[in-house]
């Protein structure tokens, strides 16, 4: 009995749940306490825009069924952690309660970053767009006539725009960057996405920023004035690193972990949007995307429970779509460019030192051409070249870049993956 380990997972999202699953894959008996900062257990945050669009609902957004926590012996505490006491090995909650730990996983995610903007506090109806509560608050503030201004043309801001645009009078999106989705697309690729959103009545003010707010007006730096009823702030996010920083752990833009998800503090692991780690090419980054949260969380859990797991295939990758036009991207955009494009679609590859470094594939379900509607088909074959660091001279690179196929991988790969190959 006394040998049972006590695991404390700080956070209630994808990384936290995956960590619990990782622990249970090794240790069926240890105590797991999951400290969930939101009033509901794990749900899929990227679905909040689909909720507003009417394409999902709260029940369907749950990441795991309600029975999951009991079935896996996970004690869910709805609270936040205020500190970790490494002397007594206890996690201190905001309520003052203390939970003893043997191993901790910090899966605290990120929080919206709101830069100082003059007059912002005078705006009555202003919202973030991260959580279900944000989405519900926004939903209660909008009606079919209201004018919405969204500050930030990144993934969060644009999905918000798509989600509400049929439910409000007008949507204007502004961003300091000269293009939409500036973190994952370049100018010409971004234009394809911007055009699609513009077709649906969304207005853009790019390369422009709010100089000053009045209660219902944004005075832009360019001199333009935007009247609005509801303001959504989607400028960016910052990793929640303070719990680890406060106990002397290394942090950069995120909590620094190695490829076993260990922080620099013994018995303290971290996973999800709050971490900074080496990508598949060894470049340290914050890769705040759901797949990495799931994979890193699982890896942390296995290691916390005494197993051995390595997560060394993290890569930036995003799939995002608007009104049937999808952008699938991965890796980094360096090296020689190979490109093919047409009306509403684009396929662009970045090749460096004999490896595929990154790609952007944009296609449209409603494109007139077959190639346009299939531009992103089987994109995962490209992603696997990046994640598994496969040299291009071992595959039929020319054929692959024209059309992704298992055929163009090595015969050995093809046979071991596709066939039982017993004869």
151 vs 317, beta carbon nearer another protein: 317
Q: Which helix (H) or strand (E) holds 83?
A: strand 81-85
4 vs 417, beta carbon nearer another protein: 417
User: How far is the C-alpha of 37 from the C-alpha of 335, rounded, in Å?
Assistant: 42
User: How far is the C-alpha of 327 from the C-alpha of 324, rounded, in Å?
Assistant: 10
63 is a site residue for another protein (CB under 8 A): yes
Q: Cβ(109)–Cβ(272) under 8 Å?
A: yes
68 vs 78, beta carbon nearer another protein: 68
Rg (CA), the chain: 23
234 vs 327, beta carbon nearer another protein: 327
Segment 391 to 420, residues that bind another protein, using CB under 8 A: 404-408, 414-420
CA quadruple 67, 271, 267, 80: dihedral sign: negative
User: How far is the C-alpha of 201 from the C-alpha of 267, rounded, in Å?
Assistant: 52
50 is a site residue for another protein (CB under 8 A): yes
Quote the distance between the C-alpha of residue 195 and its chain's center. Answer: 24
Phi and psi, residue 355, nearest 5°: -125, 150
303 is a site residue for another protein (CB under 8 A): no
100 vs 399, beta carbon nearer another protein: 399
One of 328, 346, 362, 375 touching another protein (CB under 8 A): 328
Q: Are strands 103-106 and 6-10 parallel, antiparallel or unpaired?
A: parallel
379 is a site residue for another protein (CB under 8 A): yes
Q: In the structure encoding, which two tokens stand for residue 127, read together?
A: 């919202």
Binding marks (x or -) toward another protein, 153..192, rule CB under 8 A? Answer: ----------------------------------------
131 is a site residue for another protein (CB under 8 A): no
> To the nearest whole angstrom, how small is the minimum distance from the Cβ of residue 148 to another protein?
22
Q: Which helix (H) or strand (E) holds 195?
A: helix 187-199
> To the nearest whole angstrom, how small is the minimum distance from the Cβ of residue 336 to another protein?
22
Q: In the structure encoding, which two tokens stand for residue 312, read together?
A: 């060394």
> To the nearest whole angstrom, how small is the minimum distance from the Cβ of residue 404 to another protein?
6
User: Which region among 78-86, 99-107, 124-132, 286-294 touches another protein (by CB under 8 A)?
Assistant: 286-294
Helix, strand and coil content of the chain, in percent to the nearest 5, comes to 25, 30, 45
User: How far is the C-alpha of 383 from the C-alpha of 319, rounded, in Å?
Assistant: 12
Q: In the structure encoding, which two tokens stand for residue 65, read together?
A: 């069924």
226 vs 360, beta carbon nearer another protein: 360
64 vs 219, beta carbon nearer another protein: 64
366 is a site residue for another protein (CB under 8 A): no
47 vs 270, beta carbon nearer another protein: 47
347 is a site residue for another protein (CB under 8 A): no
User: How far is the C-alpha of 373 from the C-alpha of 396, rounded, in Å?
Assistant: 24
288 is a site residue for another protein (CB under 8 A): no
One of 24, 125, 298, 325 touching another protein (CB under 8 A): 298
One of 215, 378, 391, 394 touching another protein (CB under 8 A): 378
The residue with tokens 């899966």 is 107
In terms of Cβ atoms closer than 10 Å to its own Cβ (0-12, 13-18, 19+), residue 360 is: buried
Catalog residues that contact another protein under the rule CB under 8 A: 18, 44, 46-47, 50, 55-56, 60-64, 290-291, 294-295, 298, 313, 317-321, 326, 328, 330, 365, 376-381, 383-384, 387-388, 404-408, 414-420, 423
């Amino acid at each position: 009995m006394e040998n049972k380990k006590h695991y404390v997972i700080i956070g209630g999202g994808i990384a936290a749940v995956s960590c619990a699953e990782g622990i249970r894959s090794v240790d069926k008996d240890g105590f797991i306490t999951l400290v969930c900062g939101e009033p509901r257990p794990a749900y899929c945050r990227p679905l909040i825009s689909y909720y507003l669009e009417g394409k999902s609902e709260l029940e369907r957004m749950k990441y795991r069924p309600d029975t999951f926590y009991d079935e896996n012996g996970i004690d869910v505490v709805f609270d936040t952690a205020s500190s970790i006491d490494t002397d007594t090995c206890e996690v201190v909650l905001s309520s003052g309660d203390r939970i003893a730990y043997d191993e901790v996983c910090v899966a605290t995610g990120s929080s919206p970053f709101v830069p100082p903007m003059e007059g912002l506090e005078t705006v009555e109806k202003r919202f973030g767009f991260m959580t279900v509560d944000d989405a519900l608050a926004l939903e209660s503030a909008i009606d079919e006539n209201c004018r919405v201004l969204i500050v930030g043309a990144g993934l969060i801001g644009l999905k918000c725009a798509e989600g509400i645009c049929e439910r409000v009078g007008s949507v204007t999106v502004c961003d300091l960057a000269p293009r939409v989705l500036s973190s994952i697309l370049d100018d010409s690729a971004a234009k394809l996405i911007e055009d699609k959103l513009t077709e649906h009545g969304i207005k853009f003010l790019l390369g422009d920023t709010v100089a000053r707010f009045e209660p219902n007006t944004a005075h832009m730096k360019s001199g333009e004035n935007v009247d609005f009823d509801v303001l959504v702030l989607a400028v960016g996010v910052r990793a929640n690193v303070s719990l680890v920083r406060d106990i002397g752990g290394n942090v950069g833009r995120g909590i620094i972990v190695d490829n076993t998800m260990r922080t620099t503090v013994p018995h303290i692991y971290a996973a999800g949007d709050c971490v900074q780690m080496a990508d598949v090419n060894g470049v340290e980054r914050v890769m705040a995307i759901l797949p990495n949260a799931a994979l890193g969380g699982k890896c942390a859990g296995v290691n916390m429970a005494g197993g051995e797991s390595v997560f060394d295939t993290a890569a930036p990758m995003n799939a995002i779509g608007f009104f049937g036009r999808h952008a699938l991207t991965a890796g980094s955009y360096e090296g020689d460019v190979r490109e093919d494009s047409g009306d509403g679609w684009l396929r662009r590859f970045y090749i460096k030192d004999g490896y595929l470094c990154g790609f952007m594939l944009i296609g449209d379900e409603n494109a007139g051409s077959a190639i346009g509607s299939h531009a992103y088909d089987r994109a995962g074959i490209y992603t696997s070249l990046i994640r598994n660091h496969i040299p291009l001279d071992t595959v039929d690179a020319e054929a692959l870049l024209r059309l992704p196929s298992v055929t163009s991988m090595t015969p050995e790969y093809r046979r071991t993956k596709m066939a039982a190959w017993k004869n």
